[in-house]
Amino acid sequence: MRRLSRSIWHGLFIIAAISSAAVLTLISLRNFHREMLPPENRPIQSGTGNYVTSNACRACHPGNYASWHTSFHRTMTQVATAATLFGAAEEREFSFDGRQYKMEQQGDKFFVRMRSLGGDYGPGKQVVLVTGSHTLQIPWLETGEGRTLEQFPFAYIIAEKMWAPVNETFLTPPDLKEYYSIGAWNGACMDCHVTQGQSRFVAGNKWDSRVAELGIACEACHSEGNQHIALNRNPVRRFKIHLTTKSDASITNPARLTGPVSGLDCGQCHSVWAFNNMTDKIDFNRQGTNFRPGHNDLGQRFVVQPNAPDHSEQKDSIRKTEPDFFTNRFWGDGMIRVTGREFNGLQASPCFRGGNFSCISCHEMHPKQTQQVSLTKWARTGQLRPEMDSDQACLQCHKAIGPNIAAHTHHEAASSGSRCYNCHMPHNTFGLLHAMRGHQVSWPTVQESVAYGRPNACNLCHLNQTLAWTAEKLHAWYNQPVPQLSQDDQTIAAAVQWIVKGDAGQRALIAWGMAWEPAQKIAGRDWFYPYLIYSMTDPYAAVRFDAWKSLQTLPGFSDFAFTYTSDDHSLRETAARAFEKWLREVRPPNAIFQPQSALDSDGHFQQDVFQRLRSERDNKRILLAE
Amino acid sequence: MNNLDRNLRFGWWSLLIFLSLGGGLEILHGFKIGWYVDVGNDMRRLMFTLAHAHGTALALVNIAAGLTARNIKGFPPRPSVSLSLIWAGILFPVGFFLGGIVTYGGDPGLGIWLVPIAALLLFYCVARIAFDLSKLN
């Protein structure tokens, strides 16, 4: 037999190598398809309508993609993995409400097993999704009922690196044990925590939920991108736009909309909204929202403003079916009192009537600077435009006030009392365990505190002053009428009244407010200790948490340990220990306690006053529905 | 001396320029100049990288063409081939470079339209050289 030449051997070798590579490619393709099958135990991303997902936007808008990718909008809802689930390393065993839970990791997946006290652990349920990545993160478990989810009873408080029962991470009544029931994520949470969610109710408590994209992605604010992408495959069209109008009608740009329409883009989620009727609710559930950025209204839904004349029939119906709906979300005059619903405040602001004011007057979703460091800072500081954390936010329109700001504020120009935000957007909303600036631009009045219980901006800084003191100043400076005030309003600091006899929402605002630096500087902080220590035994967990965190900002208590979710006995014991520590180790010998603080000269409560205020505490059930 | 000798000269000068440009890009990286390295300036970075890479590669192609003409007896150097190769060596990197100066998100600037012209010239001269060399056999 003739020997094969060297070149034939070379040829055979090359053919064999190419064939092997082709076979390996085909095998990996098969595995790839198997891995790509959508999971059946959680909501999935599926081709919805004309949505194309953020992946399709990246190539043409790398800078905008980068800012969005850094934002907490992107990570609002994520598939649970070792990279996205916080706190799995800190703790793996939990107890709550007579049950024990154990979290176990298998590869990149996490499972939770549960048992009643003394019983055996049941089978593991996979942690499939996580919601939140900024302040709080809640893991969601598979249920075995299709794509229906149930809440893991614990949430991870990111700043504290600690787990706490979910019901104790919101301002909820102490007797409320389950905050989210089975299916609540599918039926409610996903309305705003994903892009174009479709709950898709099946039967019983079974859901087949799908989304255009997990998290809040490009198309939530810019509308569906399919047509935009198809049209812009044509480079001539793109360059025509680049060189002429710089505006593309095939996609919505909120920056080019009028104030109210642009605001509604954010307001589709950042508002208290309700369905127009049951038909619209069913349609929303099945098809997802029919609101698209650029629309003048929310379609199947409407923004609920308690005192606005629209949708009166629907609002009456809400009042009948859910009597606490308004009190759990609004102050008595209709101002929003929960965080996350900023559009309600914006819409009710006088600035809004001008037609240009919107969320992006102060915030921006895509900063020009795209270095990772500046993007991270931007994401963590309210996604504000440059200088919008200063008076410039207001002075960009109210230019006349700028040159002589002290004449307007009656405070030193450089002081915190001359900062626009502090008087016109005080911290009067609460959610996720902290107070936040209200987004209804307003003027401080004593009347708002007397009539609706809302802490006014003056007394949120001057915590040590009475309402009568504030009324006198506002009358002298702005000719505001002095309202009828009680004896307590004339002699006891407003903050003392709110933290002792206020409702849970008021108490939480003041407990948080005692850590606010301008208030600590103005009001003196020696007298904060007894009230914060007392508030660590408050029936509401959120108040206890903020009292503890505020106490940690005071000298001598920076590392004071406190489990705010403990039982009553432990809470009282820790509070007693804290009070002893303050009396013996921290209290300055020359500390002076002003009479309006309702403390004796040695820092103890004036028992008659304190007990009376405590007996007058507003114990109505509060659930601040953030 | 044949027509392709000028390609040798052009090639070496071009190589010097684009190696220097590579140094310039390293400096932009080294000092983390946002105009070049920020995520939002991806397109500029890509364009400048392509300008550097194509300028260097085309310089080497010009040198190779010049050496080929010198070393292969009877290889007829056409003036059009020589010129096309030089113009390709200019238009490719300049097109990419200009395309990176002003960018529109994921789109380069208008200078990028020089690149398809350069590609046609390069295709012509490489094909011409390949055919002419084949005829020699």
Tens of pLDDT, residue by residue over B87-132, are 999 999 999 999 999 999 889 999 999 999 999 999 999 999 999 9
**Residue among B32, B34, B40 whose CB faces A62 most closely:** B40
Please tell me which residue of chain A has the smallest CA distance to B43.
Answer: A62
User: Taking chain B, what is the end-to-end CA distance rounded to the nearest angstrom?
Assistant: 23
Which residues on chain B are in Cβ contact (under 8 Å) with A235? 107
Instruction: Assign A198 to helix, strand or coil.
Output: strand
Asked if A369 lies within 8 A of B34 by C-beta distance, the reply is yes
**Residue among B39, B104, B107 whose CB faces A370 most closely:** B39
d(CA B69, nearest CA chain A) in Å: 29
What is d(CA B73, CA B137) in angstroms, rounded to the nearest whole number?
11
Residue listed under structure tokens 């700001």: A405
Residues of chain A with pLDDT under 50: none
- Degrees (nearest 5) of the Cα angle A310, A432, A267? 30
Instruction: Assign A500 to helix, strand or coil.
Output: helix
Query: pLDDT, tens digit, for every residue of A396-428?
Result: 999 999 999 999 999 999 999 999 999 999 999
What is d(CA A104, CA A75) in angstroms, rounded to the nearest whole number?
23
Q: Please report the pLDDT score of residue B73 as a whole number.
A: 84
Asked if A62 lies within 8 A of B42 by C-beta distance, the reply is yes
Element (H, E) at B96: helix B79-101
Residue listed under structure tokens 């549960």: A114
Q: Please report the pLDDT score of residue A454 as a whole number.
A: 98
**Residue among A63, A67, A369 whose CB faces B105 most closely:** A63
d(CA A267, nearest CA chain B) in Å: 28
Please tell me which residue of chain A has the smallest CA distance to B104.
Answer: A242
Q: Is the pLDDT of residue B22 over 70?
A: yes
Instruction: Assign A72 to helix, strand or coil.
Output: coil
Asked if A61 lies within 8 A of B105 by C-beta distance, the reply is yes
Overall residue count recorded for chain B in this entry? 137
A302 within 8 A of A312, measured Cβ to Cβ: no
What is d(CA A224, CA A218) in angstroms, rounded to the nearest whole number?
9
The total number of structural domains in chain B stands at 1
Please tell me which residue of chain B has the smallest CA distance to A236.
Answer: B110
Please tell me which residue of chain A has the smallest CA distance to B36.
Answer: A371
Which residues on chain A are in Cβ contact (under 8 Å) with B104? 238-239, 242
Give the helix, strand, coil percentages of chain A, each rounded to 5.
40, 15, 45
CA R_g for chain B: 17
Asked if B43 lies within 8 A of A62 by C-beta distance, the reply is yes
* CA torsion angle A353 A355 A361 A364 (round to 10): 130
Instruction: Assign A324 to helix, strand or coil.
Output: coil
ipTM of the complex: 0.72
**Residue among B41, B106, B110 whose CB faces A60 most closely:** B106
Q: Please report the pLDDT score of residue B1 as a whole number.
A: 55
d(CA A246, nearest CA chain B) in Å: 10
Which residues on chain A are in Cβ contact (under 8 Å) with B37? 371
User: Count of CB atoms within 10 A of residue A127's CB?
Assistant: 25
Please tell me which residue of chain B has the smallest CA distance to A242.
Answer: B104
A228 within 8 A of A205, measured Cβ to Cβ: no
Buried b (16+ CB within 10 A) or exposed e, A243-267: eeeeeeeebbbbeebebbbbbbbbb
State the number of CA atoms in the 13 A half-sphere of A226 facing the CB: 8
**Residue among B40, B104, B106 whose CB faces A59 most closely:** B106
A580 within 8 A of A572, measured Cβ to Cβ: no
Asked if B106 lies within 8 A of A62 by C-beta distance, the reply is yes
Tokens linked to A624? 């601040």
Which residues on chain B are in Cβ contact (under 8 Å) with A368? 40
Q: What is the largest CA-CA distance in chain B?
A: 55
Choosing among A58, A247, A371, which should be mutated to test the B contact, i.e. which has the most B CBs within 10 A? A371
**Residue among A63, A235, A239 whose CB faces B39 most closely:** A63
Choosing among A69, A70, A237, A239, which should be mutated to test the B contact, i.e. which has the most B CBs within 10 A? A239
Give the helix, strand, coil percentages of chain B, each rounded to 5.
80, 0, 15
What is d(CA A125, CA A144) in angstroms, rounded to the nearest whole number?
9
A446 within 8 A of A467, measured Cβ to Cβ: yes
Q: Please report the pLDDT score of residue A527 as a whole number.
A: 97
What is d(CA A334, CA A33) in angstroms, rounded to the nearest whole number?
54
Which residues on chain A are in Cβ contact (under 8 Å) with B41? 63, 370
A contact set with B (CB within 8 A): 59-67, 235, 238-239, 242-243, 368-372, 375
d(CA B60, nearest CA chain A) in Å: 29
Residue listed under structure tokens 């450089």: A414
User: Count of CB atoms within 10 A of residue A476's CB?
Assistant: 11
Which residues on chain B are in Cβ contact (under 8 Å) with A371? 32, 34, 37-39
Buried b (16+ CB within 10 A) or exposed e, A29-60: eeeeeeeeeeeebbbebeebebbbbbebbbeb
Quick one: DSSP state of residue A482? P
d(CA A232, nearest CA chain B) in Å: 11
Which residues on chain B are in Cβ contact (under 8 Å) with A62? 39-40, 42-43, 105-106
Of A439, A246, A255, nearest to A360 by C-alpha is: A255
Asked if A62 lies within 8 A of B107 by C-beta distance, the reply is no
- Degrees (nearest 5) of the Cα angle A157, A329, A466? 90
Which residues on chain B are in Cβ contact (under 8 Å) with A375? 39
Q: How many CB pairs under 8 A join A and B?
A: 48
What is d(CA B17, CA B94) in angstroms, rounded to the nearest whole number?
12
What is d(CA B96, CA B50) in angstroms, rounded to the nearest whole number?
6
Spatial CB neighbours of B52, under 8 Å, sequence gap ≥ 6: B18, B21, B22, B25, B93
Overall residue count recorded for chain A in this entry? 626
Please tell me which residue of chain B has the smallest CA distance to A59.
Answer: B106
Tokens linked to B7? 């390609």
Which residues on chain B are in Cβ contact (under 8 Å) with A65? 39
State the number of CA atoms in the 13 A half-sphere of A575 facing the CB: 22
Which residues on chain A are in Cβ contact (under 8 Å) with B43? 62
What is d(CA B93, CA B89) in angstroms, rounded to the nearest whole number?
7
Residue A207's beta-bridge partner residues?
Answer: A146, A201
* Percent of chain A with pLDDT strictly greater than 70: 98
Q: Is the pTM of this model over 0.90?
A: no
Angle between helices B79-101 and B42-71 (to 10 degrees): 170
Choosing among A65, A244, A248, which should be mutated to test the B contact, i.e. which has the most B CBs within 10 A? A65
Taking phi over 0 as left and psi of -120 to 50 as alpha, with beta for the rest, A231 belongs to alpha
**Residue among A242, A370, A372 whose CB faces B104 most closely:** A242
Which residues on chain A are in Cβ contact (under 8 Å) with B111? none
Tokens linked to A83? 């990279």
Which residues on chain A are in Cβ contact (under 8 Å) with B32? 371
Count helices and strands in chain B by DSSP H and E runs: 5, 0
